[in-house]
């Protein structure tokens, strides 16, 4: 079955971004240029650009054109940032404690999320992210060995899983859910909580163009961590300049 033309244009733009031809804030071809290159109508080219804009891959400036956005999640109000960068940006010291890095039989719920078969091998990492000697976040992450075969060989004391995955399987889409939880004894131990307190748990599934890459459970004490974001609201544009 032939791929729709607007989807073909999207795939082309995503591939150029992923291989570095168009880095962040680079201008991508206009509707007219894409229409000519792919022998389609401007409406078809506009649909491809609009969908990529809605997904957070591109942003549009009225009267100027479409540009590659900074790395951020699709359909999310929160920018996906590396926790090490967050901590360093506050002028604090970051380091990580690797608790576990292994291969497991894939549980059913993880298999469904990552497009794997139940009991098929899946990679699992458990890491404590530490700010100024105090645990800030417990990260439990399942990673597809099909898309990231060398994940289990990495040294996550020198780089975070987010850094590695962003380089190996560039993010094109992400899903978030945030909930308040009451931590179990295992979580309290690794977050050095003297007694249980409400925690924030961010569940994040990330995708590259090839499919679902990872499913992560990020748990932080409510007294030490908060989520926030900054939103820019842009007026809709009718059409690009000729």
102 and 192 part of one domain = yes
Q: Which residue has the higher pLDDT, 63 or 105?
A: 105
**Total count of domains within the chain:** 2
Is 231 part of any domain? no
pLDDT category of residue 229 using cuts at 50, 70 and 90: low
- Return the SS3 of 148: coil
Q: Which residue has the higher pLDDT, 241 or 128?
A: 128
pLDDT category of residue 103 using cuts at 50, 70 and 90: very high
pLDDT above 80: residue 80 = no
Owning domain of residue 156: 83-221
Is 10 part of any domain? yes
Mean pLDDT estimate for the chain: 85
Asked if residues 131 and 94 have their Cβ atoms less than 8 Å apart, the reply is: yes
Region 21-32: mean pLDDT is: 90
Q: Which of 55-59, 108-112, 131-135, 136-140 has the lowest mean pLDDT?
A: 55-59
Predicted local distance difference test score (pLDDT) of residue 121: 96
pLDDT above 50: residue 43 = yes
56 and 16 part of one domain = yes
The DSSP H or E segment spanning 129 is strand 121-131
118 and 205 part of one domain = yes
pLDDT category of residue 239 using cuts at 50, 70 and 90: very low
Q: Which sign, positive or negative, has the C-alpha torsion 142, 150, 144, 158?
A: positive
Would you state the structure tokens that stand for residue 96, as one six-digit string?
């990580």
CATH of the domain at 176: 3.40.1410.10
Q: Which residue has the higher pLDDT, 69 or 226?
A: 69
Other CB atoms closer than 10 Å to residue 169's CB: what's the count? 22
109 and 9 part of one domain = no
Residue ending a domain, among 68, 101, 121, is 68
Is 235 part of any domain? no
117 and 202 part of one domain = yes
Measure CA 120 to chain center.
Answer: 24
Q: For residues 32 and 239, give the distance between their C-alpha atoms in angstroms, rounded to a whole number.
A: 10
pLDDT above 60: residue 207 = yes
Asked if residues 172 and 112 have their Cβ atoms less than 8 Å apart, the reply is: no
pLDDT category of residue 118 using cuts at 50, 70 and 90: very high
Predicted local distance difference test score (pLDDT) of residue 4: 86
Q: Which residue has the higher pLDDT, 187 or 88?
A: 187
63 and 149 part of one domain = no
Q: What proportions of the chain, in percent to the nearest 5, are helix, strand and coil?
A: 25, 30, 45
Query: Which pTM was predicted?
Result: 0.66
45 and 151 part of one domain = no
62 and 129 part of one domain = no
pLDDT category of residue 175 using cuts at 50, 70 and 90: confident
111 and 163 part of one domain = yes
């Amino acid at each position: 079955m032939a791929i729709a033309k607007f989807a073909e244009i999207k795939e082309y733009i995503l591939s150029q971004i992923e291989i570095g031809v168009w880095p962040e804030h680079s201008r991508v071809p206009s509707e007219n240029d894409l229409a000519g290159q792919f022998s389609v109508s401007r409406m078809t080219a506009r649909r491809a650009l609009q969908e990529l804009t809605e997904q957070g891959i591109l942003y549009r400036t009225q009267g100027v054109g479409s540009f590659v956005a900074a790395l951020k999640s699709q359909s999310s109000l929160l920018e996906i940032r590396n926790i090490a960068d967050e901590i360093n940006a506050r002028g604090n010291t970051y380091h990580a404690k690797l608790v576990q890095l292994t291969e497991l039989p894939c549980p059913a719920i993880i298999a469904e999320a990552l497009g794997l078969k139940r009991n098929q091998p899946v990679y699992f990492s458990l890491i404590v992210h530490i700010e100024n000697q105090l645990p800030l976040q417990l990260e439990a992450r399942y990673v597809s060995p099909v898309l990231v075969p060398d994940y289990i060989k990495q040294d996550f004391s020198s780089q975070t899983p987010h850094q590695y995955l962003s380089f190996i399987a560039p993010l094109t889409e992400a899903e978030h859910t945030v909930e308040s939880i009451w931590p179990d004894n295992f979580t309290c131990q690794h977050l050095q909580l003297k007694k249980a307190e409400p925690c924030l748990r961010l569940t994040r599934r990330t995708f590259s163009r090839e499919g679902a890459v990872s499913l992560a459970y990020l748990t932080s004490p409510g007294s030490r961590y908060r989520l926030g974001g900054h939103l820019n609201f842009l007026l809709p544009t009718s059409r690009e300049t000729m």
